[in-house]
Amino acid sequence: MTLPRAVELIAGGPLTMVDVERVIERHRDAFIQHAFMTRLEGTGTIEQFRRMLPRHAFFTLVFQDVLRLARDRCSDPQIREIARRHELEDKGHDQWYLDDLDRLGVTLDIRWMFSAEHALARDVGYELVSLVLSASDDRSRLSVVLSLEAIGREFFIRVPGFVERLGVARGLKYFAVRHLDIERSHDMFREEGKTRLGAIGVPDEAVPEVLNSIERTFETMGLLSDDLNAAMRG
């Protein structure tokens, strides 16, 4: 998967987080060409799906902390409020994931989660936390959150149809159409959310770090997608 690099922000006036969203959209357009995303658009077996599910675990659980830390570390009131909205919108979704694993007969072993085999997934989680904690600008922290939301939406566009084709969709929560509906209703996809982003300026000196945060988030999630795809391929 090749991600667009050195993307230039183009706007008719002062840069805002809406311009940053356009950069994220370009990265998203490249990301959906990933083999894992393509696989979810096709067919598979329940055995393949069960092999993939636990490899998603560490990211799914740490994602809640990424959102919490992004909100907690933001000092700008406007950005902090947007980060808080994202945290609330995704709160409890990790429990949906764990419930789905129970329903699908997949057991998580904490020893396996911290084994060498699962190191890549842990590294992905640590990298995302590092991006939030090491950022010197709140706009960079928000860019990590917005990038993850964009990637997540594409995953949840595809996975409900995949589990439906497997014949195991009944009773699921995290991998269900209802989750997709909730993702689509997130603030960032509504007009009010765009207005809030448009009110947040991006000074020239913050642009390099913001762009780096976006690139690193997409590259990191590309590594996780490689791992998930390899698990399904067997």
Confidence category of residue 188, pLDDT binned at 50, 70, 90 = low
pLDDT for residue 224 is more than 90: yes
Q: Residue 28 and residue 49: Cα distance in Å, rounded? A: 24
Mean pLDDT of 193-211: 89
- List pLDDT tens digits, range 58-97: 999 999 999 999 999 999 999 999 999 989 988 999 999 9
pLDDT of 6 reads: 44
Distance between CA 70 and CA 65 in Å, rounded? 8
* Domain parsing of the chain, residue ranges: 18-38+45-233
- The 8-class DSSP code of residue 16 comes to B
Q: Categorize the per-residue pLDDT at 223 as very low, low, confident or very high, splitting at 50, 70 and 90.
A: very high
Query: What's the mean pLDDT when you consider all of the chain?
Result: 90
Confidence label for 47 from pLDDT (cuts 50, 70 and 90): very high
Q: What is the mean pLDDT of residues 197-209?
A: 91
The predicted structure's pLDDT at residue 8:
52
Query: 3-class SS at 104?
Result: coil
Task: Check pLDDT > 90 for residue 191.
Answer: no
- Locate 179 and state its tokens: 């989750």
Answer for the pair 132, 74: CB distance below 8 angstroms, yes or no. no
| 115-132 pLDDT per residue, tens | 999 999 999 999 999 999
Which tokens go with 56?
């998603």
pLDDT of residue 114: 96
Q: What is the DSSP code (8-state) at residue 98?
A: H
Nearest to 128 by CA among 226, 5, 223, 193: 223
pLDDT of residue 186: 57
Q: 183 pLDDT band (50/70/90 cuts)?
A: low
Residue 101 or 186, more confident: 101
Q: Nearest CA to 175 among 165, 163, 167, 188?
A: 163
Higher per-residue pLDDT: 52 or 89: 52
Which is nearest to 100 in space by CA: 41, 45, 53? 53
Domain at 18-38+45-233, CATH class: mainly alpha
